[in-house]
Amino acid sequence: MKNNLKEIKICLAGNPNCGKSSLFNNLTGLHQHVGNYPGVTVEKKEGSLVKGNYKINVVDLPGIYSLSASSEDEIVARNFIIEQKPDLIVDVVDASNFERNLYLYTQLSELGIKVIIALNMIDVLKNKGQEIDCGLLMKSYGILAVPTIANKNKGTEELIKSVIDVYENKIDIKNTKIDYGDFISGHLQKVESIIYKDILLVAKYSVRYLAVNLIKKDKFVLEKIEKSTVSEELKKQGFESGDNISDKFSDSIDSVFADKIYTWIHSVSAIVIRTVAKSKYDVSDAIDRIVLNRIFALPIFAFVMYAIFKFTFTLSAPFVGWFESGIEFLSGYADKIIPEGVFQSFVVDGIIGGVGGVLGFFPLILFMFFAIAFFEDTGYMARAVFIMDKFMRKFGLHGKSFASMIVSTNGCAVPGLMAARTIESEKDRLITLMVTPFMICGAKLPIFALFIGAFFSAKDGANVMFIMYVLSVILALGAAWILKKTILKGKPAYFIMELPPYRMPSLKGILLKMWERGFLYLKKAGTIILLVTILIWAGLSFPKMGGEKVDNVSEEKAASIQIEQSYIGKLGNLLEPIIQPIGFDGKAGIALISGLAAKEVVVSTLGTIYSLGEVDPEDASSLSEKLQQDPDWNKLKAVTFLIFCLIYLPCIVAVAVFFRESGSKIKWLLFLTFWTTAAAWVISFIVYQGGRLLGFGG
Ligand code: GDP
Ligand code: MG
């Protein structure tokens, strides 16, 4: 029996997020498999279904807005349709965005293959109080549109039936031929009459498609006609027509055509879309009208971020103070009860001085995560990505890259890097991977809090933090722009985000998120940070100096000689010539290197170093006070240090994830290492030396 089945080859085309995948699943059920189109990473989904005497093979094309071939997805979709010649195209149209979606329909219509519209999301349209008259679409335009609600599997059977009927010519549908007006039509006819001279071309391609795109100087079409017997004549006429049309309308040829298409689309929708009820008043829409407003969107976003930092820094300050006092007390207490010696130093300088320094900022972390969880749960963070999408396009990036950056800021670069997986274009993904580590993740936060607390007044703290945050975004965008202009050239693909409705967040939900992320911080402090701190402490305490070298000097001097002569101290001395031009001493160098294990370790290492250097536990002070008192530091150096921390190589875990996500290529790993280190040094150099020239920082 099976052999008697008639095979019908169809493909699903449509804008991203119009419900194509849902419809594909409705049609094919489990009979599908996913692969890649040859040579590119674009997904290729195929499946089939049997209906009566027919076997329908379905290909789900990538989501696209047009066939202008400005992205890999568009090229794949166009090549598939033109070269594989399906029997039918099902154009999935999001009815609630009818006009925008119809653009692709007009382009598909030109390809010379019958197109059926699956008019999806009619439930959404209905909620807007509107309806589309499918009968009229058929009667006036010969367009067959089958209403569907793909996520509820409604309309699928009707669609299948329509596919078969159209295939068997039981329904007569007409592909739309846009009326481009007399002037353009005249030129199209001239070009088409030449195409008709070459029978091979006519047999293989849609004449209208060739003519329109020849006039548009489309590369793909130029290639296709290259071997034609009339190729020279065609090109000459095509280009001449293109120039004439451009001149006549004094606009680019693409705009002229797009204009005509939209005129047609407006006239169609004016007739077939009906308002039948008052649109339900939508609070989310009302808020979005302000929040996503062309002019206010960016300032509001900046204000929200500012509010987050203000909230975090101002409200957490007393708690951080208490934590620090508690840790100082603990340190003094341990000093008293443990007899002087290596073990005392291990506990006081190593564990309490190091890990304690990181734990002191735990309240700050909680406040930060609380504020961020609040905006995430309201639905605002999704808007932030949407807002930044437009902005990022100017830098050749899209909003998905910003999504990675936000995830990184909201906690950790690792999930941020993994979020980049959703970016289809390999180049865009690589760029995103390269710049996401610049963001101030939860682990870098304590470094910023420490130095800002030490060198800026409480009043300025949140402002400086905000500036640092803005700087991190500027750095990431700038870096992306440079990459895009140099080694990773290409146009960003369009993407449409679905915005969830605004919701009043629940306190429980926020606290839960805050705790989940906060707990990770504690866990890290008790594991990797503790471990590295112990190693750092040991490296600073051994080999032990003794004898005459330290006999005749003050205790303070002896402590600093000990540090200098230790294993790690020697490493610091080696580093010094490299980092002196950017204002750092060996201590800073050691902290930066140890920070590769985990960024919080920068703080714990400084904690251990300063704790070891301190002789009198009676006047124990917090780490930020110690930094303040150290003549090797000043405001300018602190700012330079923070900028260096923004840019230099991410922690080892993030680097490992980067390696995996970038396709496990050593080349990219080396590139990341070199590029972040070099950029960190160069920019720090400019900031530090520039600052000194301007008279900052003594
Ligand atoms: P694709 O990007 O075109 O493949 O779209 P998907 O099939 O992934 O659908 C995008 C989103 O729209 C999903 O959340 C679907 O559940 C939802 N969706 C799909 N069809 C409909 C529909 O007819 N009505 C509504 N309300 N939602 C739909
Ligand atoms: Mg899909």
The answer to whether the CB of 13 is under 6 A from ligand 1 is no
Give, using CA atoms, the residue closest to atom 4 of ligand 1.
21
Is 495 contained in some domain?
Answer: yes
Atom of ligand 1 nearest to the CA of 15: 3
Helix or strand run (H / E) with residue 8: strand 6-14
- For residue 195, the enclosing domain spans 182-275
CA of 114 to the centre of ligand 1 (A): 24
Last residue of a domain, one of 275, 310, 338: 275
Cα of 454 from ligand 2 centre, angstroms: 51
In ligand 1, the atom with minimum distance to the C-alpha of 149 is: 23
CATH number at residue 243: 1.10.287.1770
Q: Answer yes or no: are the C-beta atoms of 514 and 366 closer than 8 Å.
A: yes
Any atom of ligand 1 within 6 Å of the Cβ of 151: yes
- d(CA 385, ligand 1 centre) in Å: 20
Letter string b/e over residues 332-359, b meaning 16 or more CB atoms within 10 A of that residue's CB: eeebeeeeeeeebbbbbbbbbbbbbbbb
525/548 same-domain check:
yes
Tell whether 149 and 201 lie within a shared domain: no
Banded pLDDT at 9 (limits 50, 70, 90): very high
Q: Which ligand is nearest to the CA of 25?
A: 1
156 and 208 within one domain:
no
pLDDT for 615? 64
Ligand 1 close to Cβ of residue 16 (< 6 A): yes
**Do 560 and 620 belong to one domain?**
yes
Phi (first) and psi of residue 97, to 5 degrees: -130, 50
CA of 29 to the centre of ligand 1 (A): 16
Helices assigned H by DSSP within 496-596: 507-524, 530-541, 548-551, 555-565, 567-579, 586-594
**Whether 667 and 635 share a structural domain:** yes
Q: Which is nearest to 18 in space by CA: 64, 58, 59, 57?
A: 64
**546 inside domain:** yes
pLDDT per position as a tens digit, 556-596: 777 778 888 888 888 888 888 999 999 998 889 989 988 88
Ligand 1 atom closest to residue 122's alpha carbon, by position in its atom list: 23
Whether 184 lines ligand 1, by a CB cut-off of 6 Å, is no
Check: CB of residue 57 under 8 Å from CB of residue 7: yes
Mean of the pLDDT values across residues 670-674?
92
Note the ligand closest to the C-alpha atom of 34.
2
Q: For the segment 192-248, what is each residue's pLDDT rounded down to a tens digit?
A: 999 999 999 998 899 999 999 999 998 889 998 998 899 999 999 999 999 999 999
Q: Is 95 in the pocket of ligand 1 (CB under 6 A)?
A: no
Phi, psi (rounded to 5 degrees) for 328: -60, -45
Angle between helices 635-647 and 586-594 (to 10 degrees): 30
> CA 446 to CA 540: how far, in whole Å?
22
CA distance 603 to 591: 7
**CA-based nearest residue to 72, from 493, 392, 495:** 493
Q: What spacing in Å lies between the alpha carbon of 168 and ligand 2's midpoint?
A: 29
Cα 418 from Cα 433, distance rounded (Å): 9
C-alpha radius of gyration, the chain, whole number: 32
> Rounded to whole angstroms, how far apart are CA atoms 197 and 385?
52
The CB of 17 under 6 Å from ligand 1? The reply is yes
CATH number at 32 reads 3.40.50.300
* Residue pointed to by tokens 């169809």: 10
CB of 22 sitting under 6 A from ligand 1: yes
Q: Which helix (H) or strand (E) holds 134?
A: helix 134-141
Asked if 562 and 618 touch (Cβ cutoff 8 Å), the reply is no
Give me the number of domains the chain comprises: 3
For residue 17, the ligand closest to its alpha carbon is: 1
Give me the phi and psi of 71, to 5 degrees please.
Answer: -145, 165
pLDDT band per the 50, 70, 90 thresholds, residue 143: very high
pLDDT given at position 115:
96
**pLDDT at res. 526:** 85
Together in a domain, 161 and 54: yes
CA nearest to 94, candidates 62, 117, 69: 117
Of 11, 12, 17, the one to substitute when testing ligand 1's pocket (max ligand atoms within 8 A of C-beta) is 17
The reply to whether 100 and 213 lie within a common domain is no
Q: Which ligand is nearest to the CA of 13?
A: 1
pLDDT, tens only, 35-51: 666 655 567 788 999 99
Are 368 and 412 found together in one domain?
yes
Q: Which of 12, 21, 22, 98 to mutate to test the pocket of ligand 1 (most atoms within 8 A of CB)?
A: 22
pLDDT of residue 264: 93
Enter the tokens of residue 451.
């130095």
Q: Give yes or no for residue 62 CB within 6 A of ligand 1.
A: no
- Range 300-320 average pLDDT: 88
Q: Cα of 152 to ligand 2 centre, how many Å?
A: 16
Ligand 1 in reach of 244 Cβ (< 6 A): no
Q: How far is the CA of 403 from the centre of ligand 2 (A)?
A: 19
- Is residue 211 one of the residues assigned to a domain? yes
Phi, psi (degrees; rounded to nearest 5) at 411: 180, -80
pLDDT per residue as tens digits for the range 618-664: 566 788 888 888 888 999 999 999 999 999 998 888 888 898 888 88
CA distance 144 to 170: 12
* 532: confidence class by pLDDT, cuts 50, 70, 90: confident
Q: Of 260, 275, 290, which residue constitutes the final position of a domain?
A: 275
Compute, in angstroms, the gap from residue 625 CA to the centroid of ligand 1.
Answer: 56
Q: Whose CA is nearest to atom 5 of ligand 1?
A: 19
Q: Is residue 176 part of a domain?
A: no
Find out whether the beta carbon of 127 lies less than 6 Å from any atom of ligand 1: no
pLDDT in tens, 46-79: 899 999 999 999 999 988 888 877 677 888 899 8
Q: Is residue 69 part of a domain?
A: yes
> Which bound ligand lies closest to the C-alpha atom of 127?
1
Q: Give Cα 401 to chain centroid, integer Å.
A: 2
CB-ligand 1 contact for 213 (6 Å cutoff):
no
Quick one: 595 and 625 in the same domain? yes
Task: Answer whether 81 contacts ligand 1 (Cβ < 6 A).
Answer: no
Q: Tell me the CB-side half-sphere exposure of residue 48, using CA atoms within 13 A.
A: 10
pLDDT-derived band at 697 (thresholds 50, 70, 90) equals low
Rounded Cα distance between 289 and 196, Å, is 52
Average pLDDT over residues 251-261: 86
> Residue 37's pLDDT is what?
61
Shared domain for 101 and 234, answered yes or no, is no
In a domain, 439, yes or no: yes
> What average pLDDT does the structure give for the chain?
86
Asked whether 15 lines ligand 1 (CB < 6 A), one says no
For position 86, what pLDDT does the model report?
Answer: 95
With bands split at pLDDT 50, 70 and 90, how would you rate the model's confidence at 3? low
Residue 32 pairs with which residues in a beta bridge?
Answer: 47
Ligand 1 pocket residue status of 496, Cβ below 6 Å = no
Asked, for residue 285, whether it belongs to a domain, the answer is: no
In this structure, is residue 291 part of a structural domain?
A: no
Q: Provide, rounded to the nearest whole percent, the portion of the chain with pLDDT above 70.
A: 93
Identify the domain boundary among 167, 191, 224. 167
Residue whose C-alpha is closest to residue 80's, from 103, 46, 54: 46
pLDDT > 90: percent of the chain? 36
Task: List, for residues 444-498, the tens digit of each pLDDT value.
Answer: 999 999 999 899 987 888 889 899 999 998 998 888 888 888 887 776 555 556 6
If asked whether residues 256 and 368 sit together in one domain, one would say no
Task: State pLDDT tens for residues 86-117.
Answer: 999 999 999 988 988 999 999 999 998 999 99
* 11, 608, 640 from 77: Cα distances, Å: 10, 59, 49
The answer to whether residues 326 and 229 belong to one domain is no
Indicate which atom in ligand 1 lies nearest the CA of residue 22.
Answer: 7
CB 179 within 8 A of CB 170: no
